[in-house]
Amino acid sequence: MRVLIGLEVHVQLNKLKTKMFCGTPTSYQHAPPNTHVCPVCLGLPGAMPTINMKAVEAAVKVALALNAKVQENTMFYRKNYFYPDLPRGFQISQYDFPIGKDGYVIIDGDEGEKKVRIKRVHMEEDPGRLVHVGRIDKAKYTLIDYNRSGMPLLEIVTEPDMNSPKEARAFVSKLRTILEYLDVFDGSLEGAMRVDANVSIEGGSRVEIKNISSFRGVEKALAFEITRQKNLLRRGQQAKMETRHFDESQEITVSLRVKEEESDYRYFPEPDLPPMNLKGWTERIKAELPELPDARRERLIAQYGISVEHAKVLTGERVLADYFEKVASKTSPKLAATWIADVLKGELNYRDMRIEGCFSPENMVELLELLEKDLISDKAAVMIIRRMLDEGGRPKEIMEKEGLQKIKEDILPGVVESVIEENEKAVRDYLSGKREAINYLVGQVMKKVRGRADASKVYNLLERRLNEIDNN
């Protein structure tokens, strides 16, 4: 049973200073409810919208970065529907003549790289925010905050090209990376990216899941929904065409309403806003586009000779790639790639930290120099990284204070000898053919020297010594 998933991703252009059709600042994130509003974004009768041309520019940037064709003639429409988060009774959106059409994004799919086609990219305004008290279908009442109302929003619609929840997640994560490279979007802000997912089992009808607000949520909601549809099929029933809501706290989808048809919205051209002609814009903005993730990945591989896997991790965040390049310019790039992509990234994730909050590239360079001069072991380097993340300080300082310098190598054979004497059972195991017992012994030696030796050297010493014993 093949699963087909298409996404509609709503992205706030939250790095812009003002809203889509008025001068109200976009910095509402920490403001009390209903304080970042004006007659336009509150939808008061008679208030006239004006187009934020910076938002149009940002939209062109995004469309180009998603390999879409930018429409020279574009315009706004009214999308009519009633909902309490939409005081005007219609959303200013786009319909025919969206700003971008026919693009694509390359993702890491279940079977290697894969192209997800983008059907359209259009501009619209964000509605207000409804806060349901409790589960949506059981809430006693709902609160409304219009601070979000009128935020510049892009809707990015894909073709149903994803075949698993994992691929859907890979798409949104790639999209976020691209948007952050363009500097039009801060994904860390609440509500910055909301996903609606269309999912069906090939041949069945389409179910839309509304308002998923986290990467994890995309995967969870889809997994739940696919299981639900498959169970229906097994019982000889069909999923009906409907809209469902994802309940993030319970990780289930609940039925909201029978899905509306496009004609229900009675789209018509927005009479208060002029159509736009973007002649000349595309070329100018294209010339100003920054280097994007895929291009940067290829460049890092070519320029620094690092692996594809490392380059993927490093370019997954623009700031991480910047950090790497600062370090790589002053020390061995391959060493830098390994230590940043494998070790540092892991330690940051573990702490729920982002690279912005990490110690400076200079400190990383200093640490890698200690490694290159063979003054510390890999294990000691990891300890230093942890210490710097948790308490600050500089690599050399920490090394000296904690006595992490490598021990003189000529004492290693003695330590190996004493570990062999003290661990008869492991030695016997090894000699009787359980070769993995050597790992335990390596661990014991490393413990005795408090991590200040190369595990691989210890391994070799131990192996040689044990084979001598074996031959006697």
**Which residues make up the interface to Mn ion (CB under 5 A)?**
155
Least distance (Å) from Mn ion to the CB of residue 105? 19
- For 107, 198, 213, 357, 399, the CA distances from 8, given in Å and listed in that order, are 16, 8, 12, 32, 51
Least distance (Å) from Mn ion to the CB of residue 20? 12
Pairwise CA distance, residues 356 & 323, whole Å: 9
Name the token pair of 14: 């939250």
Q: Closest CB to Mn ion among 49 and 204?
A: 49
Q: Closest CB to Mn ion among 155 and 325?
A: 155
Pairwise CA distance, residues 241 & 233, whole Å: 14
The residue number whose beta carbon is nearest to Mn ion equals 155
Q: Closest CB to Mn ion among 155 and 167?
A: 155
Q: Closest CB to Mn ion among 145 and 155?
A: 155
Pairwise CA distance, residues 324 & 326, whole Å: 5
Long-range contacts of 29-33 (CB under 8 A, 24+ apart): 29/189, 29/190, 31/147, 33/143, 33/145, 33/146, 33/147
Q: Closest CB to Mn ion among 124 and 325?
A: 124
Least distance (Å) from Mn ion to the CB of residue 400? 58
Q: Closest CB to Mn ion among 155 and 366?
A: 155
Least distance (Å) from Mn ion to the CB of residue 210? 11
Within 8 A by CB and 6+ apart from 30, the residues are: none
Look up residue 213 and give its DSSP letter: -
Pairwise CA distance, residues 37 & 107, whole Å: 38
Q: Closest CB to Mn ion among 155 and 225?
A: 155
Name the token pair of 85: 């988060």
Phi and psi at residue 88, to the nearest 5° = -75, -20
Least distance (Å) from Mn ion to the CB of residue 384? 49
β-strands 242-247, 207-212 pairing: parallel
Least distance (Å) from Mn ion to the CB of residue 132? 20
Least distance (Å) from Mn ion to the CB of residue 10? 6
